[in-house]
Chains A and B, each alone.
Chain A
């Protein structure tokens, strides 16, 4: 299967093609784009290379079966959810507790819309400066170094005493808190 010639086709176009003729070859092309990411996700949860490999195969099978049953609009987030749930189910089967709370699964494209909405407002930049100052010192430091000074995780880690995982977490939590604070400030304006 030559995937190069389909490189220009978007995920949702490939999905449409699949829904039109139910030819699994389209799914093959689509899923191959995510093999590496899926391997990473499975590895993160299962911590074993062979198990992660098997898990990716099972996720492929599951995806192919499920996509025949119903229509999926946001393929990437859906696939991530399938993979993550499959890993968590495997961990539960083994008697291990999942290492992460499921909260982040809720991140859907709506999130993107929310952010767009914020960006469109002129007052957002002023509010952003206010909100930024309300972050806790760790989040403020990581967000500033990452977004405003364009430093990489590695450089931030060298400049601060944080580990890479802590930096990622401070940036993500900082962003989330900024969004919440902006929502609040924008509401107060009306």
Chain B
């Protein structure tokens, strides 16, 4: 008896999987497996409330259909958010490229302007050293 006493306080933290829960609700579990589910229910208010609620659903087929529908909607919901996020990521990228392009264009423009400016300077002030040298008449 002493060892069994421990069971009262030991938390059975094992989560019951959905299939087992369904089997429990349709009385398809063995005696010991049913007892295991019930032990979990005594420890877990979430599971306990859920079983009480699920027992009020008229047919197991309805229950399965609801769960399937809800899971599909959830998948759509999370996938939609993901798509939106990816779209945003792609949308964000052109700005980066645009900024780089603008910077490159600016650098090229600067280069051209500076080059033109230097050329113009060279035309108005041509180098004088060679022209001023007197020709050798000898």
Chain A interfacial positions (CB closer than 8 Å to B): 1, 22-25, 27-28, 31-33, 35-45, 47, 49, 52-53, 56-57, 60-61, 64, 76-77, 79-80, 84, 104, 107, 111-112, 115-116, 118-119, 124-125, 128-129, 132, 143, 146-148, 150-154, 165, 168, 171-172, 175, 178-179, 182
The listed residue (A36, A39, A40, A53) touching B52 by CB distance below 8 A is: A40
B binding-site residues for A, Cβ under 8 Å = 1-2, 4-11, 13, 15, 18, 21-22, 31-32, 34-35, 38-39, 41-42, 45-54, 56-58, 62-63, 66-67, 69-71, 73-75, 77-79, 81-82, 85
Q: A37-B50, A175-B8 are in contact. Are A31 and B42 (CB under 8 A)?
A: no
Alpha-carbon distance A172/B72, docked complex (angstroms): 36
B70→A56 contact, CB < 8 A:
yes
Q: Chain A contacts of B38 at CB under 8 A?
A: 146, 152-153
Total A-B Cβ pairs within 8 A: 159
A39 close to B63 (CB less than 8 A): yes
SS class, residues of chain B in contact with chain A = helix
Closest beta carbon of chain A to B43's beta carbon, Å? 8
- Give the residue of A40, A80, A182 whose beta carbon is less than 8 angstroms from that of B54: A40
The 8 Å CB contact of A44, one of B6, B56, B66, is B56
Is B81 a contact partner of A43 (Cβ separation < 8 A)?
no
Query: A158 vs B53: C-alpha distance in the bound complex, in angstroms?
Result: 22
**Cα–Cα distance between A42 and B70 once the two chains are bound (Å):** 13
- The 8 Å CB contact of A115, one of B11, B75, B85, is B11
Report yes or no: A57 in contact with B70, Cβ–Cβ below 8 A.
yes
A1 CA to B77 CA, complexed, in Å: 12
